[in-house]
């Protein structure tokens, strides 16, 4: 699966589509998709460009989860996180999928730059995802623009109960921001214990560097995961 802050498509839908196409994921979690002028038509153009189906694409919070044709969506959820006066509304999008008969829950969020709001929203996102998983049993993955580095308290809160895929099984690049000269890791994929992570990181060997620099101010994180029984898993999902 791919997690990608697309910066409001300021680099254009075609550039983002080339990045996504080069990664060939089963599931894409997007942050900062357009939510203002002509947001619906701009999102539809992106969906067509990447050739994927929107499972959930809500205006509030600028999130979207897309999946390749052939997967099954059983349930979706979209929650507004605690509002803070003067700060942007933050949300959590969740999708319950079936991958060849195996359940997989996907969640997507973008946290705030404000440290206090970010920490609260990180905990709230974990709690709401746990509640969604209780109603829709299965392994789950959270894709997030965490808006901070791994040493920050919000990141540490996420990894108190979830596994940092790129830290456990690093592959490709590490830093995700800024795209033109990456120096900070602020985007991540976090998995529950029953998800097999094969590798995760910035797909620098798969994508044209010019596309990565042009498409967004963030770099994407690609996680190769598998589901099922046994040490090697038996169902590829989102790699």
Residue 50: what pLDDT? 87
Q: What is the structure's pLDDT at 112?
A: 97
Residue showing tokens 């990045």: 19
* Beta strands in the chain, from DSSP E residues, in sequence order: 2-5, 27-31, 53-58, 63-67, 72-80, 91-99, 102-110, 140-145, 163-164, 187-191, 196-201, 221-227, 235-237
Band of pLDDT at residue 40, cut at 50, 70 and 90: confident
pLDDT value, residue 59: 75
User: Model confidence over 137-172: pLDDT tens digits?
Assistant: 999 999 999 999 999 999 999 999 999 999 999 999
Give the CA radius of gyration of the chain.
16
How does pLDDT run across 108-135, given as a tens digit for each residue? 999 999 999 999 999 999 999 999 999 9
Sign of CA pseudo-dihedral 154, 207, 47, 196: negative
pLDDT at 43: 80
Kindly report the length of the chain: 239
Q: How many CA atoms lie within 13 A of 185 on its CB side?
A: 19
Q: Which domains does the chain have, with CATH numbers?
A: 2-237 (3.60.10.10)
What residues contact residue 229 under an 8 Å CB cut-off, 6+ apart? none
CB 3 within 8 A of CB 238: no
The SS3 call for residue 181 is coil
pLDDT of residue 231: 46
Q: How many CB atoms lie within 10 A of CB 238?
A: 29
Which tens digits make up the pLDDT trace of 61-78? 899 999 999 999 999 999
């Amino acid at each position: 699966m791919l997690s990608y802050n697309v910066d409001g498509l300021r680099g254009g839908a075609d550039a983002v589509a080339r990045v996504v196409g080069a990664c060939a994921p089963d599931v894409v979690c997007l942050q900062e998709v357009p939510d203002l002028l002509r947001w619906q038509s701009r999102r539809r153009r992106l969906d067509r460009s990447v050739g994927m189906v929107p499972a959930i694409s809500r205006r509030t919070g600028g999130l979207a989860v897309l999946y390749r044709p052939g997967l099954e969506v059983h349930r979706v959820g979209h929650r507004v996180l605690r509002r803070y006066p003067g700060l942007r509304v933050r949300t959590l999008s969740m999708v319950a999928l079936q991958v060849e008969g195996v359940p997989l829950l996907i969640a997507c969020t973008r946290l705030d730059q404000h440290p206090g709001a970010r920490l609260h929203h990180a905990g709230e996102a974990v709690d709401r995802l746990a509640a969604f998983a209780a109603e829709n049993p299965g392994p789950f993955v959270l894709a997030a623009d965490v808006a901070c580095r791994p040493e920050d308290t919000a990141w540490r809160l996420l990894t108190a109960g979830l596994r940092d895929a790129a830290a456990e099984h690093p592959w490709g690049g590490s830093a995700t921001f800024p795209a033109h000269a990456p120096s900070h890791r602020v985007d991540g994929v976090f998995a529950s214990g029953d998800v097999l992570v094969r590798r995760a990181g910035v797909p620098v060997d798969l994508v044209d560097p010019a596309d990565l620099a042009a498409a967004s101010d963030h770099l994407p994180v690609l996680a190769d995961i598998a589901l099922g029984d046994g040490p090697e898993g038996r169902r590829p999902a989102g790699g």
